[in-house]
Amino acid sequence: MVLSCREIRRQLSDYIDDDISAGTRQAFDAHLLRCRHCAAFVDGTRNILALIADERMFPLPAGFSERLHIRLQRELGTS
Ligand SMILES: [Zn+2]
């Protein structure tokens, strides 16, 4: 299985939540090894989520992850 950069970004939240099949995870990891752009995208998202998890132990407000995605895409120059 080969994932495109678009598919990586579409499935990013499932990947971080560990809500994907083993095969998809394998393809995801393989993509991240050879695509620095997506690796930076995943790292950035993980870092932000880790910061949030440290400081706030309650559920994220509605729409938060959508705004996070928009902000990340802007900062990393992806679309
Ligand atoms: Zn990529």
**How many other C-beta atoms lie within 10 A of the C-beta of residue 6?**
10
- Distance from CA of residue 70 to its chain's centroid? 12
Collect all residues with Cβ–Cβ distance below 8 Å to 56 and sequence separation of at least 6: none
Cα 8 to ligand 1 centre (Å)? 7
Residue given tokens 């880790």 in the structure block: 50
Cα 50 to ligand 1 centre (Å)? 22
**pLDDT of residue 4 exceeding 70:** yes
Q: Categorize the per-residue pLDDT at 67 as very low, low, confident or very high, splitting at 50, 70 and 90.
A: confident
Q: Categorize the per-residue pLDDT at 6 as very low, low, confident or very high, splitting at 50, 70 and 90.
A: very high
Cβ neighbourhood burial of 4 (10 Å; 0-12, 13-18, 19+): exposed
pTM: 0.62
**pLDDT of residue 5 exceeding 90:** yes
Cα 38 to ligand 1 centre (Å)? 4
